[in-house]
């Protein structure tokens, strides 16, 4: 602790002066304020989600996510150039396949939408390519895995792992730099790491959706990626929003199994968890500022109730302040500071 200052006495105030001795406002003046800022958003921290749609030939706006769209494969490279121009250099790809089935087989098809997207982006751009590895957009029931043979309403963890391996390897083969499994299956990181290594992709990284809550904030995404479950919900695989200790347990399992980056999702309602995970592990931590978080800001902005740009910036900055090294956000291009 510093000794109390006696400036007040030097300045001629009496011992019982009510004037403050410390004045933090000095560092809030123009010129110095920016220099002492502890947290700034850098384009290098941001990852832009992109939706590639095999069922359309035109860019299709997503109602609940103003300004965001599903992009047909033929427009993807052009869309990617917009991302690059903004200053963002990484994207996470979500696919809407041309057809769905019980097992989600279009997810690992050689000519699947993500495989094709990777081929084009790899050839035409320098973007860092991350792929979401999950089955919910590919199964006709919309769950993140194959269903139990007997019960038919719950996801069979171990049978799903085999499919996730196939998807991950097919993405690596098509040119992915990093694989992001989002299905919250137990053991998914270890299984995928071994599959990538055995198939000759030891350099392809894994960003695990390690701490993914069962959240109502994913609502708009389900419209965007057409992945709402046809029955039941995802509580039997995604985390209970009330749980904090369990987040560390989930993160630890994924780190032990070889995750290169661990993610917390959603971001804003879970900033305490981002901080917990950041403090407990030494791997980079990502946070996903999800569709519902985006939609709320856009909706209030449209009505003139909030200053959209300022709120977006403050929100993403708070995610970084909480400890996220990487931030997946639909505001990425707006905040990157490029063209």
> Taking the alpha carbons of 111, 113, 119, 123 in that order, is the dihedral positive or negative?
positive
Q: Least distance (Å) from ligand PBG to the CB of residue 10?
A: 57
According to DSSP H, which parts of 199-307 are helical?
219-225, 245-256, 271-280, 291-302
Q: Which DSSP state fits 155?
A: B
Minimum CB distance to ligand PBG, residue 324 (Å):
15
Exactly one of 100, 166, 265, 313 is catalytic; name it: 265
Residue 212 annotated as catalytic: yes
Give the residue with the Cβ less far from ligand PBG, 257 or 329: 329
Closest to ligand PBG by CB, 72 or 145 = 145
Q: What angle do CA 283, 331, 323 make, to 5 degrees?
A: 25
* Minimum distance of ligand PBG from residue 2's CB (angstroms): 46
Residues 138-157: x/- map of binding to ligand PBG (CB under 6 A)?
Answer: ------x-------------
The C-alpha atoms of residue 144 and residue 94 are separated, in whole angstroms, by: 13
In 16-150, at which residue ranges do the beta strands (DSSP E only) sit?
A: 46-53, 60-61, 69-72, 90-96, 128-133
Element (H, E) at 7: helix 7-10
Comparing CB distances to ligand PBG, the nearer of 27 and 216 is 216
182 binds ligand PBG (CB under 6 A): yes
Dist. CA 196–CA 206, nearest whole Å: 10
Q: Select from 169, 248, 290, 297 the one that contacts ligand PBG (CB under 6 A).
A: 290
Residue 304 in contact with residue 325, Cβ under 8 Å?
Answer: no
Q: Which residues contact 42 (CB under 8 A, 6 or more apart)?
A: none
Q: Say whether residue 221 binds ligand PBG (CB under 6 A).
A: yes
Residues 223-242 that bind ligand PBG (CB under 6 A): 227
User: Which CB sits closer to ligand PBG, 72 or 292?
Assistant: 292
8 vs 296, which CB is nearer to ligand PBG?
Answer: 296
CB-nearest residue to ligand PBG: 221
Q: Give the closest residue to 134 by CA, choosing from 68, 179, 178, 73.
A: 179
- In the shown chain, the binding pattern of residues 113 to 132 toward ligand PBG, with x for contact by CB under 6 A and - for none, equals -------------------x
Per CB under 6 A, residues contacting ligand PBG are 132, 134, 136, 144, 182-183, 218, 221, 227, 290-291
Q: Which amino acids are annotated catalytic?
A: 212, 265
């Amino acid at each position: 602790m510093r000794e109390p200052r006696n400036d007040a006495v030097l300045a001629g105030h009496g011992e019982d002066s009510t004037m403050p001795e410390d004045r933090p406002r000095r560092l809030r003046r123009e010129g110095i304020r920016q220099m002492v800022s502890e947290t700034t958003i850098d384009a290098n921290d941001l990852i832009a989600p992109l939706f590639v749609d095999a069922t359309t030939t035109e860019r299709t706006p997503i109602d609940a996510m103003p300004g965001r769209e599903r992009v047909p494969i033929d427009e993807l490279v052009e869309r990617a150039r917009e991302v690059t121009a903004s200053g963002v250099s990484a994207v996470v790809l979500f696919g809407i396949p041309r057809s769905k089935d019980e097992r989600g087989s279009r997810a690992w098809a050689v000519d699947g939408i993500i495989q094709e997207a990777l081929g084009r982006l790899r050839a035409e751009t320098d973007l860092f390519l991350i792929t979401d590895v999950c089955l919910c957009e590919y199964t006709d029931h919309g769950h993140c895995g194959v269903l139990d043979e007997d019960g038919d309403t719950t996801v069979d963890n171990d049978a799903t792992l085999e499919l996730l391996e196939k998807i991950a390897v097919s993405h690596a083969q098509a040119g992915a730099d990093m694989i992001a499994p989002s299905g919250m299956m137990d053991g998914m990181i270890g299984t995928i790491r071994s599959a990538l290594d055995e198939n000759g992709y030891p350099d392809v990284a894994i960003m695990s959706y390690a701490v993914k809550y069962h959240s109502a904030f994913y609502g708009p995404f389900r419209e965007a990626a057409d992945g709402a479950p046809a029955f039941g919900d995802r509580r039997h695989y995604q985390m209970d929003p009330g749980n904090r200790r369990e987040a560390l347990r989930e993160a630890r399992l994924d780190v032990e199994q070889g995750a290169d980056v661990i993610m917390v999702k959603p971001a804003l309602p879970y900033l305490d968890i981002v901080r917990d995970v950041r403090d407990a592990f030494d791997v980079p931590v990502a946070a996903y500022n999800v569709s519902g978080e985006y939609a709320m800001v856009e909706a209030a902005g449209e009505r003139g109730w909030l200053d959209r740009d300022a709120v977006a910036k403050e929100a993403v900055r708070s995610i970084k302040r909480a400890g996220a090294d990487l931030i997946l956000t639909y505001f990425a291009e707006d905040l990157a500071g490029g063209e």
